[in-house]
Structure 1
Amino acid sequence: MLGADDVLDPPPRRVLVAGTAGVGKTTTARRIAQAVGAPHTEIDALYHGPGWTVRPTFAQDVDAFTAAPAWITEWQYRSVRALLVDRADTLVWLDLPKPVAFWRLLRRTVRRRLRRIELWNGNVEPPLWTVVTRREHILRWGIATRNETRKRVAALADSTPHLRVVRLRSQRDVERFVHRLLAGTE
């Protein structure tokens, strides 16, 4: 596995950003897209239809944007994970400490709920009290799936030779990594 200071040659063009819920995948993906001059597609926006239903064109939409020579997105959703990995050249793993990840997820969830921020296709975060009644609530899901993400990424690093895996363990690592990408495009 590579780190924030390792040279990526050739520069990344098809990048996945992986990590548990709330670590900053979408924000980091946008920043990487700007740094390398590639489009960012927010995969959640393709997945979630009205009423939190799966959009029927999700797999086709992912197939279409990943056919391009350059793209950045988040590595999520079992139904398209293999396709994403097959077409990516780099996976950036945000492996932040558990307290940092949880605090970010909690802060984001509360802010979105209190401000009634529309996420995708009219959806908003459910009431905060549902964290105790719904197993799929994002806070519970983020905690429960952290180790799954770690296992999944570690397995990729061992089994997918064409895919460079860059592990970033802190926000400082993220900053250094994005800065190096920016410096490489100047």
Structure 2
Amino acid sequence: MQRVMILGEPGSGKSTLATALGAKQKLPVVHLDRIFWQPGWQEPDPATFKAQHDRCASEERWIIDGIYWKTIDFRAQRADTIIWLDLPLWLRLYRVLRRTLITLGKSRPDLAPGCPEKFDFGFYHYILIGHQKRNQRISSLLEKFEGTKQVIVLRSRREVQQFLEGLQERPVGGGDLEKSGP
């Protein structure tokens, strides 16, 4: 487990898992939302974002969380482990609403500076509409890599917790203690 890609819908816990897994496995963490969004919630130049993404994904060791479909193929090819957080819609909506209320007006550590949390009806609409289609896309992506990469699907908070608890901590030197999957 050297290059880990974490996928999931908003509120699934991608950044939280990435941070916990990074600490446990001594891997650097890249939150795609942090490198994508510019201050004031401005979108970057696509070529600039792709170059930054590809530079991160070209490293030998990483955890990258986020989807961003235009860059997902390169990241998936490079990953040795793909984790999909396929949590229920009601839980994800609850988490996003709670996160919004708690951090309203503040910048989160998984986002770029200058991107304060805001209540955005469009974002909730995005979560509600089309989640089944996006999940089908993720499922199709994972099918392509089954058998060639370690593919892990976690469908509940309990499964996420059990996954983390089941990993051996990697020593500070970064030796590869866990050898599971291809």
TM-score grouping bracket, smaller chain normalisation:
0.7 to 0.9
What is residue 127 of structure 2 aligned with on the other side? 142
- Structure 2 gaps of 5+ residues are 171-176
Q: Give the drift of 1:112.
A: 2.2
Give me the whole-angstrom Cα distance separating, in 2, the residues matched to 1:117 and 1:147: 31
Task: Choose from 137, 143, 150 the match for 1:158.
Answer: 143
Normalized per residue, which structure has more helix?
Answer: 1
What is residue 6 of structure 2 aligned with on the other side? 17
Q: TM-score, normalised by structure 2?
A: 0.82
Q: TM-score, normalised by structure 1?
A: 0.81
The structure with higher relative contact order (CA 8 Å, sep 6+) is 1
- Matches of residues 108-119 of structure 1 in structure 2 within 5 Å? 108-113=99-104, 116-118=105-107, 119=111
Q: Would you say the 8 A contact 1:21–1:138 is kept in 2?
A: no
- Structure 1 gaps of 5+ residues are 1-11, 132-136
What is residue 31 of structure 2 aligned with on the other side? 42
Whether 1:60 and 2:51 are equivalent positions in the alignment is yes
- Shift >4 Å, 4+ stretches: 183-186
Q: Give the drift of 1:83.
A: 1.1
Give me the whole-angstrom Cα distance separating, in 1, the residues matched to 2:72 and 2:56: 14
Alignment partner of 1:84: what SS? helix
Q: Give the drift of 1:164.
A: 2.4
Task: Choose from 87, 91, 116 the match for 1:124.
Answer: 116
Matched length: 166
Q: Would you say the 8 A contact 1:17–1:93 is kept in 2?
A: yes
After superposition, the C-alpha distances for 1:88-135 in whole angstroms (9 at most, x for unaligned) are: 11111111122111111111122222xx11242312233x3x52xxxx
Give me the whole-angstrom Cα distance separating, in 2, the residues matched to 1:34 and 1:145: 33
